[in-house]
């Protein structure tokens, strides 16, 4: 009974030993014989969209957003179905990265998947790298993997600075156990060093403060990937890689030029690949138009999740089910031909030419070009004028690019408010949250940025100028999303605050500097000089 109180189910520890044997898992095999899900098109009645992203287990931030009074979501009563859309014309998009940095992974997955099940054509969940990379657990913690020596464990080949398993175990004389391999994976190969302790805290909350052992934390992680209703598996079964609603494209990372129209082969390996080799693999697709591409990319993801559920362990040839999707969340494995881990943001702002053309991360260009002529023309041919993303922290407020150099206007909006606070060492948000709210008309749309700044809690509510022909929208702010020269530095205009001043910032790498100015103290320019080629 005590275990049932903690984990919300019955069953003993021995079942994981049975399920983790060499290859297939009996529960997943049975489930995989049925259709995982059908890709659902957005409802034709959608007039308003709310977008948030990269909550990463921070249940407090999600609840702060829902309870703000400004969200497209609301709570009605209590229980599993209390989370609802605010109207029959509203839709909600979660931009991915549900897991890792807070004690709310399990509850968030339950709430978002439940919401998707209740509103299949008006709620959409995107796959982020922190969601996809958990697929690795089934093979790398299997009995087959545990029967191999630590020196033979799967290595984070993309990061030559990461500590390998042998060194990790030697430090403090740790035993080679499944618990310690999971701790090593989370800290040194999955970029989530506190996730084990966060999961322990969440399980303790479920069990009303009872002590949670390492083995029970391990069991929770395994259940999340092995069971059809587990947090990771259920999220991935209901999620997709891209979404187009009206004139807006939603992806986790960026509309990277190399990724446009390209769908990987199911034979793609999770190793460092060259782009030309990816294009040659049987079944890969290229040159697709926007709608065909997004549809095919989502089918690819669905088929890969299905393959993982059917065969989550190592195969004799060294492959594993779902490997091509695991590769798709890796920059070097995809030679940057991916929308999941490509990125627009540098220094918590839109990038400079140096970040796009010269800087390198994991052997690939650090940032995608948000004003790439090739990308903009491709999107416009598909009826898209706006790209909305997350993935890379943009700090205290959304990072916005707005330009009128494209007739009718064009926007890129990034809404990941991780690392918003310099005071909050626990979650690094400091109370910040951000919703990108879109209003859709017959021939145009308008973006609205709503949220709260870190630490001070100051609210903001800013409309951008409409995109496309006029549909009678309220006036939008002509400054937000532009650049202004202040002294000798070009700053991005981030927000107009409630007191009438503007928040401006610049940055590089992981640091940024912000200031507030009155409108009379600066002038904006279009296009932004930071993105212009010399």
Per-residue model confidence as pLDDT tens digits over 145-176? 999 999 999 999 999 999 999 999 999 999 99
> What pLDDT, on a 0 to 100 scale, did the predictor assign at position 150?
97
How far from chain centre, in Å, is Cα 178? Answer: 27
* Of the candidates 354, 446, 345, 421, the residue with the CA atom closest to the CA atom of residue 389: 345
What does the block give as tokens for 193?
């060093």
Looking at residue 179, what DSSP letter applies? H
CA 285 vs CA 127, 148, 241, 441, 510: distances in Å:
20, 37, 16, 33, 35
pLDDT tens digits along 168-223: 999 999 999 999 999 999 999 999 999 999 999 999 999 988 999 999 999 999 99
Packed helices 59-66 and 105-118: angle between N→C axes, nearest 10 degrees = 40
Could you read off the pLDDT of 338-397 as tens digits, one per residue? 999 999 999 999 999 999 999 999 999 999 999 999 999 999 999 999 999 999 999 999
pLDDT at 37: 53
- Please determine, for residue 28, whether its predicted confidence score (pLDDT) is greater than 60: no
User: Where does 300-454 show beta strands of DSSP type E?
Assistant: 360-361, 364-365, 386-389, 399-403, 410-414, 433-440, 444-452
At 130, which helix (H) or strand (E)? helix 129-132
Mean pLDDT of 509-521: 92
95/415 Cα distance (integer angstroms): 9
Q: Which two tokens stand for residue 452?
A: 């709260």
Q: Give the pLDDT of residue 393.
A: 94
Instruction: Specify the pTM.
Output: 0.93
Closest CA to 310 of 516, 89, 34, 494: 34
d(CA 110, CA 257) in angstroms, rounded, equals 35
**CA-CA distance, 514 to 502, in Å (whole number)?**
10
Q: Three-state DSSP class for 531?
A: helix
Element (H, E) at 244: strand 242-245
Burial of 252 (0-12, 13-18, 19+ CB in 10 A): buried
Instruction: List, for residues 279-297, the tens digit of each pLDDT value.
Output: 999 999 999 999 999 999 9
353's tokens: 């030419």
Instruction: For residue 30, name the pLDDT band (cuts at 50, 70, 90).
Output: very low
Q: What is the DSSP letter of 499?
A: T
Burial grade of 24 (CB within 10 A; 0-12, 13-18, 19 or more): middle
**Nearest of 58, 87, 57 to residue 74 by alpha carbon:** 87
| Residue 444: other Cβ atoms inside 10 A | 20
Q: Which helix (H) or strand (E) segment is 95 a member of?
A: none
In sign, the C-alpha dihedral spanning 75, 76, 79, 83 is: negative
Residue 488 tokens, joined: 């000798």
Q: Is the pLDDT of residue 41 over 90?
A: no
pLDDT of residue 426: 61
Question: Alpha-carbon distance 129 to 239, whole Å?
Answer: 12
pLDDT digits (tens, 9 = 90+) for 437-468: 999 998 999 999 999 999 888 999 999 999 99
DSSP code of residue 163: P
- Give CA torsion, residues 197, 200, 204, 209, to 10 deg: -50
367 with 355: CB under 8 angstroms? yes
Q: How far apart are the first and last CA of the chain?
A: 68
Torsion of CA 241, 387, 84, 119, to 10 degrees: -40
H or E segment at 110? helix 105-118
Q: What is the mean pLDDT of residues 240-256?
A: 98
Token pair 């798709």 in the structure block, residue: 328
Residue among 487, 385, 391, 346 nearest 97 (CA): 391
Which residue blocks in 230-322 are alpha helix, DSSP H?
Answer: 231-237, 275-280, 290-310
Decide if 430 contacts 423 (C-beta within 8 A): yes
Q: Yes or no: say if 85 and 206 are a contact pair by the CB < 8 Å rule.
A: no
Domain assignments of the chain as residue spans, ordered by start: 1-21+128-235
Binned at pLDDT 50, 70 and 90, residue 428 comes out as confident
Q: CA–CA separation, 245 vs 40, rounded Å?
A: 12
**Tokens in use for 207?**
């069990």
Give the integer Cα–Cα distance in Å for 309 and 6. Answer: 25
Is the preceding omega at residue 527 within 30 degrees of 0, hence cis? yes
496 phi and psi, to 5 degrees?
A: -105, 125
- Pairwise CA distance, residues 432 & 458, whole Å: 9
């Amino acid at each position: 009974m005590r275990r049932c109180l903690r984990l919300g189910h019955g069953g003993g520890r021995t079942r994981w030993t049975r399920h983790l044997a060499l290859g297939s898992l009996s529960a997943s095999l049975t489930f995989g014989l049925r259709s995982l899900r059908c890709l659902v098109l957005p409802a034709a009645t959608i007039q308003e969209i709310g977008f948030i992203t990269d909550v990463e287990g921070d249940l407090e931030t999600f609840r702060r957003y829902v309870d703000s009074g400004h969200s497209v979501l609301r709570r009605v009563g209590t229980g599993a179905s209390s989370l609802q859309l605010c109207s029959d014309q509203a839709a909600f998009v979660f931009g991915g990265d549900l897991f890792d940095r807070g004690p709310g992974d399990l509850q968030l997955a339950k709430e978002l998947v439940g919401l998707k099940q209740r509103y299949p054509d008006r709620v959409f969940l995107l796959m982020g790298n922190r969601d996809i990379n958990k697929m690795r657990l089934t093979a790398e913690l299997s009995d087959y993997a545990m029967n191999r020596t630590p020196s033979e464990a799967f290595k984070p080949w993309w990061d030559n600075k990461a500590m390998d398993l042998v060194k990790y175990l030697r430090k403090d004389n740790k035993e080679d156990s499944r618990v310690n391999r999971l701790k090593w994976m989370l800290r040194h190969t999955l970029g989530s060093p506190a996730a084990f302790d966060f999961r322990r805290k969440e399980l303790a909350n479920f069990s009303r403060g009872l002590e949670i052992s390492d083995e029970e934390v391990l069991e929770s992680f395994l259940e999340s990937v092995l069971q059809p209703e587990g947090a990771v598996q259920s999220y991935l079964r209901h999620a997709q890689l891209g979404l187009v609603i009206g004139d807006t494209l939603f992806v986790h990372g960026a509309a990277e030029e190399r990724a446009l129209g390209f769908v990987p082969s199911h034979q793609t390996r999770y190793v460092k690949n060259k782009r030309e080799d990816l294009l040659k693999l049987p079944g890969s697709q290229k040159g697709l138009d926007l709608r065909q591409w997004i549809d095919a990319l989502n089918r690819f993801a669905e088929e890969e999740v299905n393959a993982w559920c059917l065969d989550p362990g190592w195969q004799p040839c060294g492959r594993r089910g779902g490997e091509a999707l695991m590769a798709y969340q890796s920059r070097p494995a995809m030679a940057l031909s991916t929308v999941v881990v490509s990125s627009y943001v540098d220094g918590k702002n839109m990038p400079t030419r140096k970040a796009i053309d010269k800087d390198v991360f994991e052997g690939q260009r650090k940032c995608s070009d948000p004003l790439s002529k090739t990308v903009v023309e491709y999107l416009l041919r598909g009826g898209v004028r706006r790209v909305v993303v997350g993935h890379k922290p943009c700090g205290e407020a959304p990072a916005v690019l707005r330009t009128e150099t494209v007739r009718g206007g064009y926007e890129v909006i990034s809404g990941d408010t991780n690392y918003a606070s310099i005071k909050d060492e626990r979650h690094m948000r400091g109370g910040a949250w951000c919703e990108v709210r879109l209003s859709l008309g017959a021939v145009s749309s308008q973006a609205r940025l709503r949220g709260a700044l870190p630490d001070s809690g100051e609210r903001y509510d800013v409309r951008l100028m409409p995109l496309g022909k006029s549909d009678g929208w309220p006036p939008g702010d002509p400054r937000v999303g532009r650049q202004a020269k202040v002294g000798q530095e070009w700053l991005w205009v981030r927000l107009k605050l409630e007191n009438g001043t503007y928040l401006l910032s610049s940055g590089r790498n992981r640091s940024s500097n912000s200031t507030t100015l009155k409108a009379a103290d600066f002038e904006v320019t279009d296009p932004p000089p930071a993105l212009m080629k010399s």
